[in-house]
């Protein structure tokens, strides 16, 4: 079943005519993803054309959803306008908004998150690579690719991946696929301190998804989201889980690229999080090269087959 998105999910792109949005819309179309609409205020009525695809552009998310039945939006809108773009998805009653945009002011996200309380729409991101549910074609084509991840490194299968970092997600997926282990869905939740979907939210979904047999959770310094997820894994998760935490060598008080990757106290260091992972029965990858192997070890210990 995969989680959040399937190859049949219809998506729209907010910011489809911008350089960044256009480039990744083309890659998603090539991947076989059902990109059915674009949104650029003022360009409603025009079309986004690529390799035989003709994607209609609308002035608003509500118009796009109504005309095409799209239930998910990928947001490529520049930071000053991205908070507003997320709220537009909520207002249109979409199932899922995926905010790729990096650099949204924290205050905007604090307000957006408050405004989303109780709303039907789920937010993934911001500052994230998006999601991929691989397809069954060559290079996993025919899947649903929302965002900026490279589609071809994936393979349809039974491992769920959740991560705050883009490139580390690709690293994990690449290791899995190289070992002929496929994925159900790979979810980049983003590197910002205020985000829509947490590690825990995604792990609960993976745990409930019968198609997912094992989980890789990738975290980093800053905040306590990984710790919260690990405690839940210990108490409720029936599936093998491997984990990795980046930033063991990061100096305290410095932001390591991601706005949220900053050590604030003794609790949010890599060492503290790794200790909690171990305590909660999560198999820790000793280096980033060890992520797939760590999951294999965890699966073997539980007698679970991943492929």
Q: Which residues bind another protein (CB under 8 A)?
A: 27, 79-80, 103-111, 113-115, 148-150, 152-153, 163-171, 174, 191, 193-194, 218, 220-225, 228, 244, 246-251, 253-254, 256-261, 265, 270, 286-290
Which of residues 59 and 152 has its CB atom nearest to another protein in the complex?
152
Other CB atoms within 10 A of residue 47 CB = 12
Q: Are 26 and 1 in contact (CB under 8 A)?
A: no
Strand 34-39 relative to strand 10-14, pairing: parallel
CA distance 14 to 284: 37
Which of residues 47 and 267 has its CB atom nearest to another protein in the complex?
267
What angle is formed at CA 196 by the lines to CA 191 and CA 118, rounded to 5 degrees? 170
Q: At what angle do helices 166-178 and 291-302 cross, to 10 degrees?
A: 60
Which of residues 29 and 104 has its CB atom nearest to another protein in the complex?
104
CB of 163 to another protein, least distance (A): 7
Q: Tokens at residue 177, please? A: 């696929």
CB of 164 to another protein, least distance (A): 7
Which of residues 70 and 148 has its CB atom nearest to another protein in the complex?
148
- Cα-Cα-Cα-Cα dihedral sign, residues 97, 142, 191, 180: positive
Which of residues 95 and 293 has its CB atom nearest to another protein in the complex?
293
Which of residues 152 and 232 has its CB atom nearest to another protein in the complex?
152
CA distance 11 to 72: 5
CB of 98 to another protein, least distance (A): 16
What are the two backbone dihedrals, phi and then psi, of residue 295, each rounded to the nearest 5 degrees?
Answer: -65, -35
CA distance 146 to 7: 11
CB of 300 to another protein, least distance (A): 20
* CA distance from start to end of the chain: 15
b/e code 188-213 from CB counts within 10 Å (16+ = b):
bbbbbbbbbbbbbbbbbbbbebeebb
CB of 171 to another protein, least distance (A): 6
The verdict on whether 258 is a catalytic residue reads: yes
Q: Are 143 and 151 in contact (CB under 8 A)?
A: yes
Candidate list 154, 158, 199, 258, residue with the active-site label: 258
SS3 25: helix
Other CB atoms within 10 A of residue 111 CB = 14
CB of 55 to another protein, least distance (A): 20
Please choose, from the candidates 173, 176, 218, the residue with its C-alpha nearest in 3D space to the C-alpha of residue 199. 218
Q: Which residues belong to the active site?
A: 258
């Amino acid at each position: 079943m995969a989680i959040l998105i399937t190859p049949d999910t219809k998506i729209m792109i907010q910011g489809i005519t911008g350089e960044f949005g256009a480039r990744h819309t083309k890659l998603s179309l090539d991947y076989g993803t059902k990109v059915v609409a674009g949104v650029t205020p003022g360009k409603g009525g025009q079309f986004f054309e690529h390799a035989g695809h003709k994607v209609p552009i609308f002035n608003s998310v509500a118009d796009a959803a109504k005309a095409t039945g799209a239930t998910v939006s990928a947001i490529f809108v520049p930071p000053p306008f991205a908070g507003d773009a997320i709220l537009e998805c909520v207002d249109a009653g979409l199932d899922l908004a995926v905010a790729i945009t990096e650099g949204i002011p924290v205050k905007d996200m604090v307000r957006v998150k408050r405004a989303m309380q109780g709303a039907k729409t789920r937010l993934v991101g911001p500052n994230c690579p998006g999601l991929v549910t691989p397809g069954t074609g060559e290079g996993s084509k025919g899947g649903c690719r929302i965002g900026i991840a490279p589609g071809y490194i994936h393979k349809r299968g039974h491992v769920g991946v959740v991560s705050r970092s883009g490139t580390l997600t690709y690293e994990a997926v690449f290791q899995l696929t190289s070992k002929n282990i496929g994925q159900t869905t790979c979810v980049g939740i983003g590197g910002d301190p205020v985000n829509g979907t947490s590690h825990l939210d995604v792990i609960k979904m993976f745990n409930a998804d019968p198609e997912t047999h094992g989980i890789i959770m990738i975290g980093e310094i800053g905040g306590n989201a990984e710790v919260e997820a690990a405690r839940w894994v210990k108490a409720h998760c029936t599936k093998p889980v491997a984990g990795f935490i980046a930033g063991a060598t990061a100096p305290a008080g410095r932001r390591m690229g991601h706005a949220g990757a900053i050590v604030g106290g003794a609790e949010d260091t890599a060492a503290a999080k790794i200790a909690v992972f171990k305590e909660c029965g999560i198999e820790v990858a000793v280096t980033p090269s060890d992520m797939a192997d760590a999951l294999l070890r965890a699966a073997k210990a539980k007698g679970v087959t991943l492929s």
